[in-house]
Structure 1
Amino acid sequence: MENKLIQSPMPFMDQLSDAVLVLTRDYLIQEMNVAAQQLTGKSKTEMQGLPISKLLPDFNGQLQEQRVVVPENLQQVVVKLDELGTDSDYLVCILKPCMQDDDLETQCDPQKDLLVSLTHIVPDFIGIKDGSGKFVYANKFAGELFGYSHVGFIGKTDADLGRLIPCFKPVFDYCIQTDETVWQERKLKRCLEKIQMPSGDRVFDVYKIPMFTEEGKRKNLLVFGREITDQVSSHEKLLESESRYRLLAENSTDMISTHTIDGNMQYVSPACEQLLGYTSQELLKKKAFALFHPDDIRRSLEAHEQLLDGKEIGNFQLRLKHKNGEFRWVEAACRGIKDEKTGEVIEIIAVTRDISERLEAEELLRNSDKLSIVGQLAASVAHEIRNPLTALKGFIQLFQSKGIVDCDKYYGIMLDELNRIEQIITELLILAKPQSKTVENKDIKELIHYVVALLDRQALIHNVHIVCELEERMSLVQCVENELKQVFINLVKNAIEAMPDGGIIHIDCVQKGAEIEVTIQDQGCGIPPESLEKLGEPFYSTKEKGTGLGLMTSFKIIQEHQGKIDIQSHSGKGTIVRIILPTA
């Protein structure tokens, strides 16, 4: 007998995934493969010579397929007994894990085998229990999740698993409770199940579906669980972040708002009531564009288009309508929030603050600068007026002394001189008196010629010559005429005063694409590097009696015209000021 068994195909059977036992005719276990040892949890030494009835008490020894339970691990298996080839001295017993209950015969159906294979691939928990709560199926993910063989789930209840894997007992106890609720309610139930792991909690979105027999008895409970740990963590972080930023928003003195790309308000912080007189709830019923001043709508729409293109808008000034009907100047910083999938802007967030008082202060400084210019021009203006007055006085004295009656030939000269005086006085009034802001399209060459004509006499007094090289054909610029004149007067005056021994001022003007660049270059003493960084600060000046208001005002005016000023200077080598303005 032993010789026959040695010649049997045991090496081959060790390669099989099914558990195989070789029995004698007396049903004693003679040999077994590795899979049998793994399935039963017993070693070769423990099983050899053991009656099959000790290993499988429910096995009846018939040559037919039947289902039994392995007592050691409560696992259900399908047992098939057959002759070992032509050798009548031995029987072969094949054990396969039982996958489903009596009504589901996946062992015999290739299509169902394929379905089972698919359930093993998915990274979700899939389990099937019978009416008594015993698992009849669990996929591989279930085993990996709890660190236990998925095959070992079969035939066991949650209570059994809680005893076998005590570290997960709270999870299985919770499952018992929710299972019973599902059976009682007789309908699908969705719940969150949290599993505590050494590396941290894992959260599952679980669906439990009860199935009943025709008589209404409990048949099967289908359990599907998908891990949502990352989503829950992200959601919790989002809520924490939202709570933190909402706290900041609701205590900020600036109005913080979000709205759709159509202008519908979605959130407005409480600061809106102090800024515009409306409560948050009142503003949520309005569209953002309904609050804009009519004169600001075109600029606002252009800025809106830039936001939709993904650009950020900073320090955008406009007027918003207060609840009392007045318009208030505000400054807004805006940016678009993009959809992660499409990359398109779906929402706009804005931080808005009241700048009415700031603008009033800036206007006072600007007026102060104008008066300063008038005072500094007094000497050259007096000279400009004295010359025509001298001519007029001379003609009148000539008429008196000679008794000339026919004075027609002198009238033209006298009128020209009077017109010259009137022009000078008018220009002084323009600088000294407040003017309404009118934005117009202007030729920048005309503004430069005007300033040169006004300051040319003062330049000659200081032995300074102004040389202009202006490109003939240039686009117009959209500007407040008097404000740009004020900037050019400030910069040319500074250049004149920087050359006490005389020199040349070059004024160049060229168009570069959609921008116009004006360059004012002197041959003066230059500005030290440490002073260059502070230019534009109020009350900082490199001149002995300067206030610093001129440059500060100039910087502000150019900024409001969407332009920029760049100053380059070296001690002893003069200064170059570049003004860049967008074309209309």
Structure 2
Amino acid sequence: MAKAEITETSVICKAFDAVNFAVAVSDVKEHIRKVNREFLRLHGISSKECAGKTFYQFIVPEDRIRLRRELQKALRKGSSHVCFRVRGLRKNGEVFPAEIDFSIVKVKGKARLLVEVVRDITRQSFIEEQLKKRTKELMALMKSGTEMLQTQDLRKRLQVIAEAIRGLGWRRVVISVRDENLEPTSPEDIVTAGLTPEEVEFLWKNRPPGKVWRERFGPEFQRFRIGEFYYLPWSDPWVRKKFTKGVVPSRIPPEEMVDWDPQDMLYAPLRVPGGRIVGILSVDDPVDGRRPTRESLAPLELFLHQAAVAIENAQLIKDLQAAKDFVSRIMEQSPLGILVFDKNGTCISINKTGLRIFGIQSSSEVAGCFNLFRHKGLIRTGLLKAFKRAYAGETVFCERDFSIPKAHGKKGKRILALRIFPVLDEKGAIQSVVELCEDITERKMLENKVREYAEQLELKVEERTRELLELEKKYETVVENANDGIAIFQDNVFVFVNKRLTEMTGYSRKEYIGKPMFQHVPEPYRTQVKRLIQRISKKKPKHLGPFTVKVLTKDGREIFVEVNSTLIEYENKPAILAVMRDVTERLRMQKELENAQRLATIGELAASIGHDLRNPLTGISGAVYYLKMKLAGKMDAKIREMFEIIENDVKYANRIVNDLLDFSREIRLKPSKISISKIVNEVLSETKIPTNLKVINAAEEAHVAILDECKMKRVFHNIVRNAIQAMPKGGTLKITSKKSRGLIKISFQDTGVGIPKKHLDKIFTPLFTTKAKGVGLGLSICKRIVEAHGGRITVQSKVGEGTCFTVILPVEPKKVEGGEESWMKSREYSLSMMMPAYVES
């Protein structure tokens, strides 16, 4: 029996140690008699360290007295079970929250043992603490919601939210209202809690622009996101670099913080359900000094949505009130009478204009007491059909004569224009009917008068139109038959040309109209014309001109026109009227006259010089002849060479004198019928041809013309001599003739050095030469001789390839008065030899 009891006791001890709770058994004197393993583990002690101690020694001293007093009280009352919450104490001094259940074991009615069950409630305490915190936060949310409902002022609503968030453990709170660009429009848009006025002013002055906030809500900051919030720790180097300015310094010393840095940032966007951001919430300086977590920020997210909805509702209320005020202003300021009827036909609103039209003193006489279908006062029975159509969904326009009753202060007939239309709700059902009315009595009277005046005016207009058409025909006749070209430009484009301008240039009207004016001006002169147009546009002179300019004709010619221009209005747009006169022939004759006068002066000078030089040259020639005769047998080679030089220079000087005298004389021709080939042969036989030069005479023997043989030989001789001088290293001179349409063309083509392009225009100009010797009269005299025969001489040349002179002569020149010996004054210059065209104002 004793052995069985021992076994049972052993089993009980094992079961005692297997209990998951810390269990201790004490006597009534509070000394520990037995503890299980969980008790030893919970307090971090061994069974030996537990022997002889009271369970009070495993409780913090501050809780021992209270526990002893409460336990003694329970024993006196005879209680069998009591529970207490105390702070347990481990061997290492660590304190933990604990819950102790005391079970009192009684024997014969007296307490003998105390069974203590100790539970570590650290986790449970944390949950209870969090539950209390959440309850507090929800209560704050409910309280703020209640306070918000008591005001419609947005700033007051946001202040309630800011204070509620501050009450949840954040020392400083900032809520800012933002527009669509995330910009606050005024300092009133910033609501704070816990900030000084100086800090609020600092925030406003250093506010970041909206684009910066968009970046802060962008992808670059997503790594700092906690739910709806963005937490930027100051310990992050990137954050310190990004936010060096515009941050309000914290007033909390770092030693009061746990893991929150005084410069950490926490903010979140205030989003409405559609996702649009209407504001920003920023909080810092947590009371517990800890960094935020998703759990700790969960209640704040409720405030985010509450603040966003508050801002949106305030804006909606503001917009609704603005719309209401706008509609009210429209009603009161409308020049039309406006009457609104509900769906039952009762007038619910009338504006001031409506009262005035119907002569009603107050809206109370109509609004709420006048019904379309029960009264016959203002609205006559004949108008009920129109209202019934409006209540059926139609829009009705009509005019009605009204007899205003005496009861409304205005007597007499009035004519009203009415528009009656239904107003539908979102489901398409008729909500009300609106009547717009306008008193058109005076307008109708005016319309009748205007109609009478219009009939009279129409007759006058017809008469005036006939006069204008006749005047237009006269102007058209004058313009179309004018001797000058007339053009109108708008934006440098032709919009009108007369018949004479088309005759001058050969272009048709279609080829002018709509085309830029500059394409009819030669390229070198467009810049000057553009400057003139710019001057007209800037200074806007009434008249500009006359000035001379070149224009292009359809056949490629360039003609001179004298232009007079003025600014006009053409088809209600600014335009330039230009009157153009062809002055090509006038300028040519003017130039020829100037040249003739100049050449006459040169001729007189040449004749004087020629006569003055002829006598000394004759003396020199005679003296040389005498010395040669005197020294006939005594001259050595050097003396003979010197005499030859003197004789050759005398001949050269004499030739120049002859040229000067020929240039100064009038050309008289002794024409005879002669072959061109014969003249060429005689010239070639009289000319010394270098051995390195080849001459090909292909002139036709049959080509016969009536001309002065001597003078024409001089022309050919001059051309051949020039060709030989142009081929110092040898070459080929080919002479050909061709007969066509009563003309003979004699060409002298050499393979010499050629003539530069810049000299071609001056080659026939008197006194122009590029040679070291000579006065430049040879080709000029040749030109005079050829033109005296009624022909012309031309030249074509390319440097390095050669030159071709062409003499064009008539087979039978025109007979002039004077018999066989006749003369004609040649034209020294033609239009093609004029100086480059110019534009002069």
TM class by shorter chain equals 0.3 to 0.5
For normalisation by structure 2, the TM-score amounts to 0.24
For normalisation by structure 1, the TM-score amounts to 0.33
* Greater C-alpha Rg: 2
